[in-house]
């Protein structure tokens, strides 16, 4: 589509995009941890590993993750999936997302995505989670474009290596690239996220919005006069893992969570990076 520029040249109309982070922005959970029970039920992880994921999810919902904790999660999950069938993971995510993820989608996020679609904007999910987990969520929301962490695949199986880690400045770089490729006007575009690690992403557009911001994101939003929104439906309360999920009594889990979670994260910090 072209418009008359007022001279003898034609100028291509620039498009508007809306970039959405996923966890705690579109969904009231962690997409990286959400399928732990299903992976256990399909024999991909042990009950002990499922418990680790459940505890990590619980602390993430309460306190979020620092940049270092995100890196530790990246290394842990990349190591965990080494050797898994890509097709099996896709099938598990697709077949179980309606009872695992769909109930956690914020109604406010659905409405906002519909608003941007109706306005003719291109809606894009940009997430640090693996693309195989993000794709079915995007399909549920009618979103055609996903920018996410890409895991190396060989002979249909994950190798445990990471080709692209979609976090922090890498998100801003990906936004700049997709803007060049698709002629997006970033000054007129939107970005939504909760986490301070996504400050570069919000700085890349003219309409940044902090959604359910963590402490540092809220500080940046107030400093820069960014819009702040609170999504509450569903209310992002975490549930402790049940005995059916991890073969351990819920009372025992509640008792050990406080001392286990911190040790898990700090222990993971010493792992060598895979990116």
The catalytic residues are 21, 23
What's the rounded Cα separation, in Å, for the pair 25 and 195?
9
Q: Which of 69, 201, 185, 57 is nearest to 125 (CA)?
A: 201
CA angle 69, 96, 237 (to 5 degrees): 50
CB-CB neighbours of 31 under 10 Å: 25
Q: What is the DSSP letter of 41?
A: H
Q: The sheet that has 190-193: what strands, in order across it? A: 157-164, 145-154, 122-130, 17-20, 190-193, 207-211, 227-229
Torsion of CA 30, 31, 37, 38, to 10 degrees: 170
Cα atoms in the Cβ-side hemisphere of radius 13 Å centred on 223: 8
């Amino acid at each position: 589509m072209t418009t008359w520029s007022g001279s003898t040249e034609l100028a291509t109309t620039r498009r508007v995009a809306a970039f959405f982070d996923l966890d705690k922005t579109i969904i009231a959970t962690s997409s990286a941890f959400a399928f732990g029970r299903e992976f256990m039920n399909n024999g991909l992880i042990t009950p002990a590993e499922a418990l680790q994921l459940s505890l990590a999810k619980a602390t993430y919902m309460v306190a979020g993750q620092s940049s270092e904790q995100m890196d530790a999660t990246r290394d842990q999950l990349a190591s965990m999936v080494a050797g898994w069938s890509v097709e099996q993971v896709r099938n598990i995510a697709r077949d179980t997302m309606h009872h695992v993820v769909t109930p956690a989608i914020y109604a406010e996020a659905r409405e906002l995505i519909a608003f941007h679609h109706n306005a003719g904007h291109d809606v894009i999910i940009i997430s640090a989670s693996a693309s195989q987990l993000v794709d079915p969520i995007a399909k549920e929301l009618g979103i055609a474009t996903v920018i996410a962490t890409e895991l190396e695949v060989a002979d249909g199986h994950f190798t445990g290596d990471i080709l692209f880690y979609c976090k922090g400045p890498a998100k801003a770089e990906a936004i700049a690239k997709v803007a060049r490729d698709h002629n997006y006007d970033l000054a007129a575009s939107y970005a939504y996220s909760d986490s301070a690690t996504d400050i570069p992403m919000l700085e890349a557009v003219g309409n940044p919005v902090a959604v359910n911001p963590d402490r540092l994101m809220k500080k940046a939003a107030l400093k820069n006069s960014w819009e702040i929104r609170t999504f509450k439906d569903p209310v992002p309360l975490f549930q402790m893992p049940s005995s059916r999920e991890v073969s351990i009594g819920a009372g025992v889990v509640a008792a050990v969570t406080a001392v286990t979670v911190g040790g898990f994260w700090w222990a993971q910090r010493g792992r060598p990076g895979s990116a």
